[in-house]
Amino acid sequence: MKPNKNHQSRGRARALSTAIFATSLIGASVISASAKDAGLLETSMPLEESGITPHATLLAEVYNNHSGGISNGSAFASLLDVGVELDLEKLAGWEGASIFANAFYFKGDDITGERIGDFNAVTNLYTDTSFNFYNIFFQQSFGNGDSFFKLGQIALDDDFMVSESALLFINAGFGPLPVQSGNTAAPIYALAAAGGVIHYDIEGPGFFQAGVYAGDSGAAESGNKGFGWKAGGAAGWMVMAEAGFSYGEDDASVVKVGGYYHTGDYQRFADGQTESGIYSMYAIIDHQLIASNGSPSLNVFFRGGITPKGEIAVVSAYAEAGLVSKNVFKQDDALGLSTSWTDLSDDFRLAEGGSSSETVMELTYQLPVNDCLAIQPDVQYIINPQGGGDNALVTGIRAEISF
């Protein structure tokens, strides 16, 4: 049998892109380490002392679908995040006040849409935007300093639905909960929108927070520079609320419960009629099993949510669980194993087709090479990709370079 030339070409392309990516990682590691040793990365310190803190972070990754899904093949993606924080107390004597702004530039391919067809994207990096402004807000702390409010253009997933342990994982399902991200157009990465949030730190280990945001952050497309959001009317408003408390050694464990109500208009899948309002409830547990104390730590986490209105909801239920260990092989590294389950509503599945649920298993390891560079190899196995196709085995590697 003659070898398939297209297959050989794809194989050479994958090998070449992997080699280039690996070489870039090595080069970035050497350059950033040398710059740090030479003191070149400390030039911003006078700015920080005066109240101006700029930041720039480059994320770059390559992923390959080895089997299942739509087709085998690889995809490369990168994101540049640049921004600045202004400490108004240092700049103008305004105690507890600050201004934050940042913007993204994304370039890359969509491995989920082109290769796999899964509902929860393999990588939380991909976006259909190109360059866009993101968070632009004023923040004022009060009380003991841990309470605050924000006003401006804000992404709600910075404050709500967060598990610190789950943030290690790259699959998009471990970011904003799919009962929110799959059912509303409210502002989450990579598009923020007008809104306000207040966080009140209760005396002791508890907190309560609430937020109101524009209901539609706008189309995820290259023409949206970050200001295409809409509020009120059919677009609606997004109202979030969350309460929680910390417990255990050094308050390192936390329990949270929350929910949202979105006032916008939705079409019922069965008959196309308009219905207003959708809501969801969720719970989060992030429990420390073993404290570090100079040795590896171990946390277990759980997040889950439900959306009762299946006639207009895409995602009716979601659950995830995982383990994260830090300081495993070296200081500040992290090793994680997790799984998630997304249940698609019956009405959505009957209207759109595809699987009734999707399961993801992810194994990942984050290795800090130096103060500027971290690399993260990642393995995911996707069972019943929502778009059809066989179970998919995906591997990848991400680099994060901070300037």
pLDDT at 227 over 80: yes
Predicted local distance difference test score (pLDDT) of residue 13 = 40
155: pLDDT confidence band, cut at 50, 70 and 90? very high
Position 7, amino acid: H
Per-position DSSP letters for 270-297, written without gaps between them: TT--EEEEEEEEEEEEEEEEE--TTS--
Contact 43, 61 (CB under 8 A): no
Q: Which helix (H) or strand (E) holds 88?
A: helix 88-92
Tally of structural domains, the chain: 1
Find the mean pLDDT for residues 281-294: 93
pLDDT of amino acid 235? 97
CATH number, residue 145:
2.40.160.180
CA count, 13 A, side-chain hemisphere, 135: 23
Q: Is 112 within 8 Å of 147 (Cβ atoms)?
A: no
The C-alpha atoms of residue 345 and residue 269 are separated, in whole angstroms, by: 10
Residue 250 has pLDDT above 90, yes or no: no
Q: Which residues contact 296 (CB under 8 A, 6 or more apart)?
A: 290, 325, 326, 327, 328
Q: Which residues contact 359 (CB under 8 A, 6 or more apart)?
A: 339, 340, 341, 342, 382, 383, 384
Which helix or strand (DSSP H or E) is residue 322 part of?
Answer: strand 315-326
Beta bridge partners of 358: 342
Q: Is the confidence at residue 15, as pLDDT, over 60?
A: no
What is the residue type of 222?
Answer: S
Residues 17-30: tens digit of each pLDDT? 444 344 444 444 44
Structure tokens at 352: 């759109």
**Mean pLDDT computed over 242-249:** 94
**Cα–Cα distance measured from residue 291 to residue 394, given in angstroms and rounded to the nearest whole number:** 32
**DSSP E strands: which ranges in 215-252?**
237-247
- Looking at residue 1, its pLDDT comes to 33
Listed in sequence order, the DSSP H helices in 113-248 are 178-181
Q: Which residue has the tokens 């702004």?
A: 101
> Whole domain around residue 105: which residue ranges?
5-402
Query: How is residue 373 written in tokens?
Result: 């560079």
The proportion of the chain whose per-residue pLDDT surpasses 90, expressed as a percent, equals 82
Phi, psi of 302 (to 5 degrees): -145, 140
User: Which residues, at least 6 apart from 39, have a Cβ–Cβ distance to it below 8 Å?
Assistant: none
Give the residue from 313, 307, 304, 320 showing the smallest Cα distance to 360: 320
pLDDT at position 6, please? 34
Q: What is the pLDDT of residues 69-111, one digit of tens each?
A: 999 999 999 999 999 999 999 999 999 999 999 999 999 999 9
- 309, two tokens: 């209105």
